[in-house]
Structure 1
Amino acid sequence: MKASLLLALIAPLMPTLTMGLIGINWNMTNIPPAGLPDITFPFSLIDTPHEVGYYFAQSINFKNVAGVGYTGLQPRPDVDGKPMIHAKLFSYVPDSTSTDSNCTDGNPDGGEGVSCAVDFSGSYGPYAIEVRNANGTTWEGTVVDLDTNRRVHVGSFTLPEGTGGITGSQVGYVEYYPWNTGVHKCADLPDTTGAFGVPQTTVAKAVGILSDAYEYGECVGEVGFLNTRTEKEVKINVGFK
């Protein structure tokens, strides 16, 4: 598929008003007609600089409702010598609500939805974010440290009545959010490295598939992008030291 056609197809799925750089597609085969009751997105920040700026995220849709959800991880500077990570969970679905103490009304772009976030101290090792149905149309996000099995609650939201499970495909991305406003030179993009793992679910016959990563946005071909694939993940390098 030509890059121009691919970008035209994925553009409506990408985050709005952001400095998007890298996209990565996922899909899940053999999902139930009602949708998935849960999905887990592995991430690795092992080689990621401990600095503010980058967001490694995955997107989800839900059956029978418009709008999208996002979840992901952002590196943070160390505090008192301890590494810090910022985790996010968003709903852009109209009429979403939440009583979770980690969440506030509204999506990051100023529209309807719910925004949830938590900071936690932990090694920059392999993590996963689990998004699962808690009850009815309420969904919750949890970060799981894959080395220690430690679980960190990110947030939860309730979607409108009649909303189904998670659909079988969407798009992940890497953005550099300090560039969401203003004018910038692509050659000034800071270096980072991160990895996306193949999505998983508890549904027995469902199988996750992850594409190679690809560039999109205003800096295609100008930010030192490198995509390295292994059996379990896609590693992304972008920017300059």
Structure 2
Amino acid sequence: MKLSQTFPFALTLLRPATALVGHSWSVSGVSDDGIREITFPINIANAPHKVGFYFAQQFTFAGQSNVGYTGLQPQVDSSAGSVVHAAFSSFVPGTTTTDQNCHDGADGGAGVSCAVNIDGTYANTYNLNVKNSEGTTWVGTLIDSVTGKETHIGSYTLPATTRGIEGSQLGFVEYFTGTKECGDLPKTAVTFGNPIVKGLTGSIDVPYEYGDCVAKSAFETHSVKDGVEISVGF
């Protein structure tokens, strides 16, 4: 799923995904050429260890109208313990990749999708780092904020006209496996940390409900230190 920044309550998704919560993030003082590195902290300590939820932050590259995104998806535990799935995608037509963690296409359209699974605790906050490595090539990295362990998610190269990441976009919570009744939505919670850019200040606006389960999903949100917490479900 991806959210439209022009129309905050409009969305493009593949059925039967259930769109739930959106929010706006911004970084002050970003130039017209954009930024070359940004980090999105996400904590899913209170998410169920089941496939279904996606907690994501979108970003727009200067010179392009389509977005990229990165985020976390809880998974069923393995024999080794809890599993965290990290995604890093581009919806920009003409995006290419030779990365073994990536493949062509994003949500059934143009772009590239990259992902990796790790054995890792849900208790720790994970930093999703998006960095320009050279030219128009961008790399996604998952970083455990407690242990410092870094895991490569993927990399892709954007068209030559692409510049850096712009200073604002949207994030979202969705239940991508879908549910027929809003009352059947599993309970979950996520904390989105303010985006981190060296030398600049990032922030997140108050999250809002959208989609078919507005006022039917037990949505709650409140500010926490350096971010916002969101909960939905029963």
Is 2:87 the counterpart of 1:82? no
Per the alignment, in what secondary structure is the counterpart of residue 7 of structure 2?
Answer: helix
Cα distance per residue 1:66-108 (max 9 Å; x no partner): 2110110001111114110000011000000000000000112
Per the alignment, in what secondary structure is the counterpart of residue 183 of structure 2?
Answer: helix
Equivalences for 1:14-163 in 2 at 5 Å?
14-17=11-14, 18-108=17-107, 110-124=108-122, 125-163=124-162
Asked if the contact 2:80/2:119 (under 8 Å) is kept, the reply is no
d(CA) in 1 for partners of 2:208 and 2:232? 11
Question: TM-score under structure 2 normalisation?
Answer: 0.93
Deviation of 1:228 after TM superposition, in Å, equals: 1.8
Partner residue, 1:220: 214
Q: Percent identity?
A: 43
Cα distance per residue 1:189-220 (max 9 Å; x no partner): 11111110000112x2x210111211000000
Letter matched to residue 232 of structure 1 = D
d(CA) in 1 for partners of 2:81 and 2:225? 31
Is 2:188 the counterpart of 1:189? no
Per the alignment, in what secondary structure is the counterpart of residue 112 of structure 1?
Answer: strand
Letter matched to residue 71 of structure 2 = G
Asked if the contact 1:56/1:74 (under 8 Å) is kept, the reply is yes
Per the alignment, in what secondary structure is the counterpart of residue 79 of structure 1?
Answer: coil
Letter matched to residue 237 of structure 1 = S
Per the alignment, in what secondary structure is the counterpart of residue 196 of structure 2?
Answer: coil
| Aligned-residue CA RMSD (Å) | 1.6
The alignment of Structure 1 onto Structure 2 pairs a total of residues equal to: 228
Asked if the contact 2:38/2:129 (under 8 Å) is kept, the reply is yes
Per the alignment, in what secondary structure is the counterpart of residue 187 of structure 1?
Answer: helix
Cα distance per residue 1:31-79 (max 9 Å; x no partner): 1221010110000011211111100000000001121101100011111
Asked if the contact 1:22/1:175 (under 8 Å) is kept, the reply is yes
Deviation of 1:15 after TM superposition, in Å, equals: 4.5
Unaligned runs of 5+ in 2: none
Higher helix share: 1
